[in-house]
Structure 1
Amino acid sequence: MSDRSIIDWPAWTTSPPGRYVLEWEQAQLDRVVSDVFGYHALQLGLPQLDALRENRMPCRGLVLDAESGASAPYTFPRGVAGGQPGRHAPPGRSSVWCDLLDLPFEAQSVDLIVMPHTLEFTRDPHRLLREAERVLMPEGQLIILGFNSLSLWGARQSVGKVTGRPFVPAAHDLIAFTRLKDWIKLLGFDLDRGRFGCYCPPLVSEKWLSRYQFMEAAGDRWWPIFGAVYMVTAIKRVRGMRLVGPLKVKKPVLAPGLTPAATPNARNKHQ
């Protein structure tokens, strides 16, 4: 890995730490998205990661930001209009080039949105989260992946930005897990689960990363919140909604050994 400032994903994902992070994230996404059902699923950004490959929804798409310019973690092909299929998208899916802060989808029309490191490249993460909330259906799921600022990787990134040698590719400051939780709760989401991973120190050598693999199990048990990467799953709640269906009146259950009290009519018959 070069000593220069790395802000593009294609260069970083071929490095040992990049492969290390993407392998963990791909494994987590494969496990989580396979249990999410519906009709429409979107991945916002980062085409180097196939976030929806294990999801079985009939309509899956990759949405890439055409407005982010050089800070995007991919190369925008010149002359390509929004909605062109096949550019960067896996086979059988379509890709849409647009401004992620103004998604071209109807409100409450998407069942699942995955944002892998998308908030770290957008110029307005709050607005992007509001757009995700707008297009998600009630009870739709939002999955966010990002680098954990409260980790050894986050500390090295902070020092690297001062010295001009950042360690991870991010156009803006890393977003702390606790701050992200506050943001999504303010938008009406319920946090479903959170998971951390990649506990090895921020090293650039494949050899040294392999030597510290024992820290994966140890970190997951002893210091779970200090993983280099986090994944958050949240569910959109719409307050005031209630499920409509037939009412079932439960009959009173008698305690064992008790009989119903005799009614007045029953007493009259015995007299």
Structure 2
Amino acid sequence: MSQPESFPGLHAWLDTPLGRYVMAWEEARFDTLVADIFGYNAVQLGVPEFDFLRANRMPFRFKGGAGQVLVETDYAALPFAPASIDLVVLPHVLEFAANPHQVLREVERVLVPEGHVVIAGFNPVSLFGLRRKLVGECGAYPWHGQYLSLRRLKDWLALLSFEANCHVSGCFVPAMEQQKWIERLDFMDRAGERWWPIGGGVYIIHAIKRVQGMRLIMPKWDRRTRSRALAPLIQKTGRPSKGCSQQTTTEKNFGRD
């Protein structure tokens, strides 16, 4: 019996000529982005048919979600301890999730400070987005998803204390299902990367979880107050040992002033 899939229509579409064209571009970009991200634990959530962590060198890499995965989980309730994951790869989950905000909150929870998330999504400001508008919400995967613009996604990430490190878009060919037309129009990829770099059908964004450090604020003591504060410590210390004789002498000088 086959395992259930999170988005079964999407998985079937990925095996079409257009889906393979998209996945080929994403695999190449994921390989570049995750290769130099270091840590101990990395998880891929979504699209288990493809290994987007293959270029990463962390000792423990696994897939979560539904289907051919190591850990079956709901994306909105991840079964991982807080601050336990160094890298989360999130391909095409947010635009089809019932609550994408909660998915991102869970990703933020399980990531360590300075942890990384790499997200792939369909771009509404593109020819793919135009195809989605024409088909409408009643269309099949992947056209009925709630596509998130890069600007909107960056706002969501910023609210969760993520810092967007870089992003890239690709797949400028119109959303045609025939392989021959994808091959004939491949020149649009080169033109799009040069003249309209934010208008690709899909995008990938890399963000880092930032945690603000605490700064201890000390009272501003004057010389007299400081000597009174050190006096009990000097009395308790008594006769100094050889290893800290210089430090105790200094403390006594403070006591005399």
Indicate the TM-score class for this superposition, using the shorter chain for normalisation.
0.7 to 0.9
Residues 225 and 60 of structure 1: CA distance in aligned 2, closer, same or farther (over 3 Å): same
Q: How many equivalent residue pairs?
A: 209
- C-alpha separation in 2, matches of 1:159 and 1:109: 42
* Matching residue of 1:191: 164
- C-alpha separation in 2, matches of 1:61 and 1:25: 18
Deviation at 1:240, TM superposition (A): 2.2
Deviation at 1:215, TM superposition (A): 1.0
Query: What is the TM-score when the length of structure 1 is the normalising length?
Result: 0.73
* Matching residue of 1:155: 130
Question: Does structure 1 retain, via aligned residues, the 8 Å contact 2:11–2:47?
Answer: no
Partner amino acid, structure 2, of 1:41: A
CA RMSD of aligned residues (A): 1.7
| Structure 2: tracts of 5 or more residues without a match | 1-6, 216-257
- The farther-off stretch of 33-42 and 232-241 is 232-241
Residues 241 and 30 of structure 1: CA distance in aligned 2, closer, same or farther (over 3 Å): farther
Query: What is the TM-score when the length of structure 2 is the normalising length?
Result: 0.77
Matched, 1:121 2:107: no
Partner amino acid, structure 2, of 1:9: L
Question: Does structure 2 retain, via aligned residues, the 8 Å contact 1:7–1:169?
Answer: no
Which is greater in Rg?
2
Partner amino acid, structure 1, of 2:202: V
Q: Secondary structure at the match of 1:19?
A: helix
Partner amino acid, structure 2, of 1:39: Y
What do the CA deviations read for 1:145-189 (whole angstroms, capped 9, x no partner)?
000011111111121125x444x5266311111110100011101
* Matching residue of 1:102: 77
Question: Does structure 2 retain, via aligned residues, the 8 Å contact 1:120–1:170?
Answer: no
What do the CA deviations read for 1:183-242 (whole angstroms, capped 9, x no partner)?
001110111001000011111111111111111111011011110000000000001258
Partner amino acid, structure 1, of 2:159: L
Matched, 1:208 2:181: yes
- Decide which structure has greater helix share: 2
Q: Secondary structure at the match of 1:204?
A: coil
- C-alpha separation in 2, matches of 1:241 and 1:109: 21
Matched, 1:228 2:170: no
Partner amino acid, structure 2, of 1:227: G
In the TM superposition, structure 1's runs of 4+ consecutive aligned residues that sit over 2 Å from their partners are: none
* Matching residue of 1:264: none
Deviation at 1:61, TM superposition (A): 1.2
* Matching residue of 1:30: 31
- C-alpha separation in 2, matches of 1:241 and 1:143: 27
Matched, 1:239 2:240: no
* Matching residue of 2:147: 174
Q: Secondary structure at the match of 2:136?
A: helix
- C-alpha separation in 1, matches of 2:110 and 2:152: 22
- The farther-off stretch of 141-150 and 46-55 is 46-55
Partner amino acid, structure 1, of 2:24: E
- C-alpha separation in 1, matches of 2:118 and 2:163: 12
- C-alpha separation in 2, matches of 1:213 and 1:40: 37
* Matching residue of 2:63: 62
Q: Secondary structure at the match of 2:76?
A: helix
| Structure 1: tracts of 5 or more residues without a match | 1-5, 66-75, 77-87, 90-94, 243-271
Matched, 1:141 2:116: yes
* Matching residue of 2:42: 41
- C-alpha separation in 1, matches of 2:176 and 2:143: 17
